[in-house]
Amino acid sequence: MNALLEQTPALAGVVVGALLSFVLSAFAERTRWRRDEAVRWDAERMRVYADYGLAVRDMYRVVLSVASHHGYGDHPAQPDRPPDAGAALAAAEAQRAARFEAVLLLGNPATVAAARRWHQAVWHLECFARGRLTDPAGWPPARREFGLARAEYYRAARHDLGITGALPSTVIPAWQQSLRQGRAGQ
């Protein structure tokens, strides 16, 4: 019995060592799993955010094209609205809506809110394209609203993804400004 008592500290050390080894390896494994999950979801969120951005941009292009037939934008008014304008607008909106569902699923609250503001801004422009709004003075502020909402969306998405640094500001080159001023004077 005396020999067993002499071995007790050694046995206790082995048991404590094994238990400590198990706890530390379980903690390390859990940490690794969480890190891997975060990386996987970050990549998926980045894809979802980019897809949504492309869908809104595509809708914006369709809206600009159709709106130009009402005299809005940098181009002179087109004589007739294309016959498929309504279908093109509906298709672009359907793509945007489908992409927004993924943003709702994976996006953080700030990015979802920014995405909503961005598509509300494109809807505002769409009202001009569809002829629901007809005040030419309302077009430039609606375009600015769209640009601000776009920048806000990308800021929120970048923040959610942990991308540091500010977005570069949009600077219109002098040659492009002179083209715009030339069109305004026509």
Residue 94 lies in a domain: yes
Q: What is the pLDDT of residue 154?
A: 96
In a domain, 17, yes or no: no
pLDDT of residue 182: 59
CA 145 to chain centre: 16
pLDDT at residue 180, as a whole number: 61
CATH code, domain with 92: 1.20.120
Q: What is the pLDDT of residue 20?
A: 76
Is 92 part of any domain?
Answer: yes
- Any idea what DSSP says for residue 77? P
Q: Give pLDDT, residue 21.
A: 76
Determine the structural domain holding residue 66 and report its residue range. 40-165
Tell me whether residue 136 is in a domain: yes
Is 12 domain-assigned? no
Residue 182 lies in a domain: no
Q: 104-112, long-range: CB within 8 Å, 24+ apart, which pairs?
A: 105/48, 106/41, 106/44, 106/45, 106/48, 107/45, 107/48, 107/49, 107/157, 107/160, 108/156, 108/160, 110/156, 110/159, 110/160, 111/49, 111/153, 111/156, 111/157, 111/159, 111/160
Is residue 95 in a domain? yes
What are the pLDDT tens digits along the chain (186 aa)?
Answer: 677 677 777 777 777 777 777 777 766 677 676 665 655 678 899 999 999 999 999 999 999 999 988 888 766 555 556 678 899 999 999 999 999 999 999 999 999 999 999 999 999 999 999 999 999 999 999 999 999 999 999 999 999 999 987 766 666 676 766 666 655 545
Number of domains in the chain: 1
Does the residue 107 lie in any domain?
yes
